[in-house]
Amino acid sequence: MDKIVSKSLLVDVAFKHAQEVFRVAGACDNCAGYNNWVPESIFALAPEGTDSVRLLDFLHGGILEPLPKISDGLTAVQRVPSTVVIAAEIVCQHLALCEHPTLWLHEALLTKEELKAKNLPNVTIDGTIYLVFSDGLDVSRVTELIQYSLLSWHFLGFVLDGTNNSGSVAELISAAKFVLIGAYDGESFLYLNGPRSD
């Protein structure tokens, strides 16, 4: 795989994609305070030489070189490349800056009953389920958690300092110290540091 770097994006364009991901994760367009902030910068994890125009096509994959096919003699499977480990390292850097580091991951598919059966810690905010982790958050564990929650069409994670439940998804987003968003058909991620108020 080519060297993966953090590529700065046009904030006004990339933030529109982030807002759509936030909506899928339960934020409403007219939530109080939600429309009053924007990130200072948004970055994409991508190969060093990726064209800047290509980086703004957040929904389609192909930014990473395909991995070799694996064959068992009957079928061949094309593994999908991913930057999950690199994203986990960046998440851990931000968790380390928090006094009470907590990782929140939007759960887009499983029900409360399924999560209970799997013994996964979760909370419901605005009718939306989030997995909440605060222990053992090293790179290996964070990689595992991101892989667990990552869908080709959606991923959203937050680093918060503290475990207090927010009253709304908009408050959760506003309290985030770091935001990680799935992009490029699940191949990679966008990330932004916590929002600043205008």
Span 34-44, pLDDT tens digits? 556 778 899 99
> 36 or 48, which is more confident?
48
**Would you place residue 170 in the very low, low, confident or very high pLDDT band (cuts 50, 70, 90)?**
confident
pLDDT at position 193 is: 80
* Listed range (77-86, 121-130, 139-148) with the worst mean pLDDT: 77-86
Arithmetic mean of pLDDT, 46-64:
92
pTM: predicted TM-score of the whole model, two decimal places:
0.89
Q: What percent of the chain has pLDDT over 90?
A: 58
CA 85 to chain CA centroid, Å, is: 13
pLDDT at position 112 is: 87
> 81 or 63, which is more confident?
63
Q: At what angle do helices 139-149 and 84-95 cross, to 10 degrees?
A: 120
Q: In angstroms, rounded to a whole number, what is the distance separating the alpha carbons of residues 53 and 191?
A: 18
Kind of pairing between the strands at 42-47 and 76-78 = unpaired
Arithmetic mean of pLDDT, 163-169:
75
Interval 181-190: pLDDT, tens: 999 999 999 9
pLDDT at position 106 is: 96
Arithmetic mean of pLDDT, 162-183:
85
**Would you place residue 79 in the very low, low, confident or very high pLDDT band (cuts 50, 70, 90)?**
low
| Contact between 156 and 180 (Cβ < 8 Å) | yes
Residues in Cβ contact with 169 at an 8 Å cutoff, skipping those fewer than 6 apart = 22, 25, 26, 27, 28, 31, 125, 126, 128
Say if residue 197's pLDDT is above 50: no
Arithmetic mean of pLDDT, 138-161:
94
